[in-house]
A = this chain, B = another copy of it.
Amino acid sequence: MKLITAVVKPHRLDEIKEALQAFGVHGLTVTEASGYGRQRGHTEVYRGAEYTVDLVPKIRIEVLAEDDDAEQLIDVIVKAARTGKIGDGKVWSLPVETAVRVRTGERGPDAL
C-alpha cells in the first residue's frame, strides 16, 4: 500500500475531493500547512513597519491507496490541483507497511 501526500493550494481541495471520488477513493485526511518555496509571499504594514510574510497557506492531503492505484491516483491529484502558476505544490508517495481501520481492525486494502 502507498501513502500519497499532496501539498497544494487551499482552494483546490474541493476539486481534488471530487476527482478522487470520481476515481473511487472515498477517504482522505487534510491538515493545514504553510509552504515556503519559489512562490513569494507578500508584504504587510503595521504602524510604519513593513513585514515580509514568506510562508504561503497550503493544505496537506493524505490518501492511503492500494499499490496498483497509486500512480494513477497521483495523476488524478496532480491534475485536479494544477492551476499552472508557481506555488501549485508537490505530491509524493511513500511505501506503507501496515494500514488498519480502527473501527474494525481490518488490515491492508480492506482498511481503506
List the number of copies, as a whole number: 3
**Interface membership of A43, Cβ < 8 A:** no
| Chain B residues in 8 Å Cβ range of A32 | 31-32
User: Known contacts A36-B30, A58-B29, A60-B31; is A98 also within 8 Å of B93 by CB?
Assistant: yes
Interface residues of A (CB under 8 A from B): 1-3, 6-8, 17, 26-38, 55, 58, 60, 62, 64, 70-71, 74, 78, 81-103, 105, 111
In the assembled complex, 16 residue pairs joining A and B whose CB atoms fall closer than 8 Å, in A order, are A1-B92, A17-B36, A26-B37, A28-B35, A30-B35, A31-B33, A32-B32, A81-B102, A82-B103, A83-B103, A84-B103, A90-B111, A92-B111, A93-B96, A94-B96, A95-B97
